[in-house]
Amino acid sequence: MITKKPFGTTEKGEQVDLFTLENSKKTAVDIITYGATVNSIYVADKNGEFADILCGFDTIEGHEKYSNYQGMTVGRYANRIAEGKFELEGTVYQTVKNEKGVTGLHGGGELSHAVWKALIVDDNCLEMTYFSPDGSMGFPGNVDFTVTFTLHEDDSLEIKYNAVSDKTTVINMTNHAYFNLAGKGDILGHELKINADCFIPTDELSIPTGEIRPVEGTAFDFRQSKPIGRDIGADDIQLKQCRGYDHNFCLNEGDGPAAVARDPESGRTMEVYTDLPGVQLYCGNFLDGTRPGKKGVPLIKHCGFCLETQYYPNTPNMPEFPQCTVKAGEKFESVTVFKFFVS
């Protein structure tokens, strides 16, 4: 079942709508047209009690004034591009440098702060579309973006990304949900497993150094489930310069989940599946309690964790990484699934 209601009006006067997808188990997902944002996910715990497991905002004003991409669809290029610059087919493109005036982050936030068009496909599937003109944020190509959200009866949320450009360009899309499976407090006690033998070290600007480093023997080894907070304060320059985890993990090939997260107290568990080569673990390291979240509760440090399925950061400038270049007329396609259950 899908229902629709107004969510508010942007500062530009654009109407924003909220769609609720609900299955027979009463699991529900709220999606707003601003940023094609997954605004809330309601799932039951081991006692059958439902809670919203996403950090974020319950007003459009919150999203516009305070957001760190909570729940938003991110593109054209998720994550960072060094100096916002890259070369394609002999042409150098300078994109917006929206992080400290030095780095291009999340495609300048274009997709995340646009109002998308919505179409109810059937009783469990919602489609969002957005058109980005050639040169927007400095990126080449007129691009038609489509994101489809489907809530299945097995309590999995499937997100399909599609994009087509009329020029060769780079596409890297993700969702930036901040999960807290307890629905309160911080996530340091959450247990996390990531199916990755290696991660990508970064410099002081969070740009990959070029190294692909094995996780073995480091604080970044999540191959066996462990509390997120166990090693987050380890004596490691990679953790110190990011105030915790904010790194891409190079996913191992295989059919199993890319990651599994669990809140021991509630029993809520989430599996993440993706066809992309990487996932960015970010733990809300730079939240400091000054931004009011849902119901006015401050967004504190480590209040949520992100598992952003993606191509690696700065891929257009790193030929040794898996590439995300899309030729004119070719279709970019990717699928990520978040599956929820109690264990």
Residues classed as catalytic: 176, 308
> At 293, is the secondary structure helix, strand, or coil?
coil
Using CA atoms, how far apart are residues 212 and 318, in angstroms rounded to an integer? 12
Using CA atoms, how far apart are residues 222 and 283, in angstroms rounded to an integer? 14
Using CA atoms, how far apart are residues 262 and 181, in angstroms rounded to an integer? 7
On whether the CB atoms of residues 210 and 180 are closer than 8 A, the answer is no
Using alpha carbons, select from 26, 34, 37 the residue that is nearest to residue 1.
26
Q: In what order do the strands lie in the sheet with 196-199?
A: 213-214, 196-199, 246-251, 278-282, 306-310
> Phi/psi class of residue 275: alpha, beta or left (left: φ > 0; alpha: ψ in -120 to 50)?
alpha
> At 239, is the secondary structure helix, strand, or coil?
helix
> Phi/psi class of residue 284: alpha, beta or left (left: φ > 0; alpha: ψ in -120 to 50)?
left
Using CA atoms, how far apart are residues 28 and 273, in angstroms rounded to an integer? 19
Using CA atoms, how far apart are residues 221 and 92, in angstroms rounded to an integer? 37
